[in-house]
Structure 1
Amino acid sequence: MDSSTSATGLWSRVVGTQPHPSLWLVLVTGLIALAAVMPFRVWRITRNAVTIAHEGGHALVAVLSGRRLDGIRLHSDTSGLTVSRGRPTGLGMVLTAAAGYPAPSLLGLAGAWLLAAGHITALLWGATALLAAVLVMIRNAYGALTVVLAGASFVLVSWLTGPPVQAAFAYGVVWFLLLGGVRPAFELQRKRRHGGAADSDADQLARLTNVPAVVWLAMFHLVALCALTGGGRWLLGL
């Protein structure tokens, strides 16, 4: 087989559609994702994946709004930091600060749309590409290790497993993003109630826009819950 034929076949595989899994698999992967989000001890580990999406959201919007992206750092306490240069005020800075908390939920919603359309392979490969882009901007060892492990899981599933395993993995990841995207806003709300997180995204946005932080926090809640509702309906075929 020549290279052009191989490339054509590979492209067809990526953009093509795959059969929808059974409803029981969709429900089981949702329950597994919920188990990865609810228990605090498990969440301390799995939250790293949400942090990657959170900081990736900051980074993507910073670049799209014309800011210069300096790098991303991920920490072992599941916190993260994205540093960009540009005007300290203005629309670009507001959009960049606002992008973090909604990012996991919006990624989950986009993933649910792809799965509802039968594009399981496209989702796996797209996620791998996004993780590779994040890896380029990582500026610390722990962050690099976290992103490499996440990317490796997508690569291994894409190349070494069959359609049933790929479908289960893809649905599990999307359920996790949708469910995991809800919890951070509640955590932030609890920290602010106890006088913590004074430099949170919501508080930065309040200083940038003169809109109270509680309003921004409500927006984070609204996006996450709407994404979970809409994405869940797509995944369940409703």
Structure 2
Amino acid sequence: MFSFDGLGTLWDKLFSAQPDPPALLVLLTAVVALAVVAARGPWRIARNAVTIAHEGGHALAAVLTGRRLHGVRLHSDTSGLTLSAGRPSGPGMILTLLAGYVAPSLVGLAGAWLLGGNRITLLLWVAVVLLLAMLVMIRNVYGVLSLLVTGGVVLAVSWYATPQVQAAFAWTGVWFLLLGGIRPVFELRRQRNRGRMPASDADQLAGLTPFPALFWVGVFLVVNLAALVVGALLLAGDLLTEAGLRF
């Protein structure tokens, strides 16, 4: 039976602010995320989350610019592919190509904004909703499994974990997206130098605009670095305050 009291309780749970996390938690989660991004083994596994955000960025940009989205594929080597139909040139195609490499960092920045207001539960539930929305776009078995596992982990943490575990999970995840969004740009640069990615997003953008591929690699890097700086200020505001600084 529908209950307004139950709805009000859910609303309060979602939108109420949790207590400020300890400064040590903010610092340790940043260190853990950096270690995952820097280490080859953990990065190969965790990079799936970056790929999900990357392809989700392509898909969202395609839909918002009026292109027809045919589907998304996620592969076990952490690569992905988003298929859409429409004009092969023009602003819609440019924005669709541009969105991929900047999406993980921008998602991390949005997460940092929520965590800056201590909306931990809201962040986790928004993540679950976005993963479910992307699930309907997936067109291969590995992609479905990848999203189900990722979404299941986030849902389990949001539903069963203690507030302390939720905070550690949320801060680590957001730090990881902010930091992890940068590494693929350097990987792109290195692989292009070796001639291994002749049809990369940057190269396709070069074919649609007057600017060379290296310019677009630079754009990806500048956007992601800016997101990291702003996101770090949002996440570490309390640390800066304790250090006698104001943000």
TM-score between the two structures when normalised by the length of structure 1: 0.98
1:218 matched to 2:194: no
CA distance in 1, matches of 2:54, 2:33: 18
Alignment of 1:12-23 (within 5 A): 12-23=12-23
Question: Shift of residue 3 of structure 1?
Answer: 1.7
CA distance in 2, matches of 1:186, 1:117: 32
Provide the residue aligned with 2:93 in structure 1: 93
Provide the residue aligned with 2:243 in structure 1: none
Paired letter, 2:43? W
Question: Shift of residue 45 of structure 1?
Answer: 1.0
CA distance in 1, matches of 2:2, 2:60: 37
Question: Shift of residue 198 of structure 1?
Answer: 0.4
Give per-residue Cα distances to partners, 1:93-128, cap 9 Å, x unaligned. Answer: 000000000000000011001100111111000011
Provide the residue aligned with 2:178 in structure 1: 178
Structure 2 SS opposite 1:84: strand
Structure 1 SS opposite 2:72: strand
CA distance in 1, matches of 2:69, 2:195: 30
Provide the residue aligned with 1:29 in structure 2: 29
Paired letter, 2:27? L
Alignment of 1:36-115 (within 5 A): 36-115=36-115
CA distance in 2, matches of 1:20, 1:169: 15
CA distance in 1, matches of 2:47, 2:159: 26
Give the paired residue count: 238
Paired letter, 1:143? G
Paired letter, 2:188? L
TM-score between the two structures when normalised by the length of structure 2: 0.94
CA distance in 2, matches of 1:80, 1:236: 32
Paired letter, 1:79? S
Counting aligned pairs with the same residue, the percent is: 59
Alignment of 1:127-166 (within 5 A): 127-166=127-166
Moved more, 44-53 or 12-21: 12-21
Paired letter, 2:97? A
Alignment of 1:191-210 (within 5 A): 191-210=191-210
Paired letter, 1:58? H
CA distance in 1, matches of 2:150, 2:47: 12
- CA 1:204–1:13: 2 relative to 1, 3 Å: same
Question: Shift of residue 2 of structure 1?
Answer: 5.7
Question: Shift of residue 181 of structure 1?
Answer: 0.4
CA distance in 1, matches of 2:120, 2:55: 24
Provide the residue aligned with 2:244 in structure 1: none
Question: Shift of residue 210 of structure 1?
Answer: 2.4
Q: Which runs of 5+ in 2 are unaligned?
A: 241-247
Give per-residue Cα distances to partners, 1:43-73, cap 9 Å, x unaligned. Answer: 1111111000000000001000011111000
CA distance in 1, matches of 2:2, 2:216: 54
CA distance in 2, matches of 1:53, 1:71: 14
CA distance in 1, matches of 2:70, 2:182: 28
Give per-residue Cα distances to partners, 1:19-51, cap 9 Å, x unaligned. Answer: 110010111111111121111122111111100
Structure 1 SS opposite 2:5: helix
Paired letter, 2:50? V
